Chains A and B, each alone.
Chain A
Amino acid sequence: GEDVEQSLFLSVREGDSSVINCTYTDSSSTYLYWYKQEPGAGLQLLTYIFSNMDMKQDQRLTVLLNKKDKHLSLRIADTQTGDSAIYFCAEREDGGSQGNLIFGKGTKLSVKP
């Protein structure tokens, strides 16, 4: 079945760029997503990309999609301590009218001052 894989941890210094990587298996996914989860909170939609795009930029966030390799990345420029959270990659399973999301295990980003 479909699967989404992410590395579990990433540690960066404040002000550096963070790059969180994700691989997925379903080549028919139309949308791919990044969600952020802060401790004790729900899943906040950060950004998403349509599968016919290679890149999407939204302020400090840059999403890169390599459809051939089924690789998605999220770059956070000028990482701040407030960016410390778990980041989930998700692909949309497009079987029905509005497919459900398949999530990775999440990457815990720690930002050191």
Chain B
Amino acid sequence: EPEVTQTPSHQVTQMGQEVILRCVPISNHLYFYWYRQILGQKVEFLVSFYNNEISEKSEIFDDQFSVERPDGSNFTLKIRSTKLEDSAMYFCATGGQETQYFGPGTRLLVL
């Protein structure tokens, strides 16, 4: 069964450093998303991406965040200058018309 994969599974970084989180979507999916889950809190929507551009973004997704599909397959989330409060589990999701399938997540810890 096709799966969404994410790398790395864990990332530890220093405050102010840039991180790139990677996702390989399910191959015939056209819609891509990033969500995050801060420990003990709800899963929160960050951004959706369709047809090589951002469809929607939340208030969390400020100028420090960006997304792209650099090679038409991988879908990346970049955080330019990480803050302590960016520590969370980041989930990629990909979808067709009705459903969204989530990857296993990247646990990001900012020190």
**A→B interface (CB under 8 Å):** 31, 33, 35, 41-45, 48, 50, 88, 90, 93, 95-106
Contact = CB atoms under 8 A, between A and B. Distances in A.
Contacts, number: 59
A57 to B, nearest CB: 17
Nearest to A100: B45
Report the interface size class on chain B: 20 to 34
Given A42-B91, A42-B103, A43-B91, A98 B48 contact: yes
Contacts of B73: none
A41 B105 CA distance: 8
B33 interface: yes
B31 interface: yes
A105 B41 CA distance: 6
Given A95-B56, A98-B31, A98-B55, A43 B43 contact: yes
Given A42-B91, A96-B55, A97-B55, A102 B45 contact: yes
Contacts of B43: 43, 88, 90, 101, 103
B1 to A, nearest CB: 11
B36 to A, nearest CB: 11
A103 B48 CA distance: 15
Contacts of B104: 41-42
Interface in B3-51: 31, 33, 35, 41-45, 48, 50
Given A98-B55, A104-B42, A45 B105 contact: no
B66 to A, nearest CB: 18
B98 A48 contact: yes
A86 B63 CA distance: 33
A105 B43 CA distance: 7
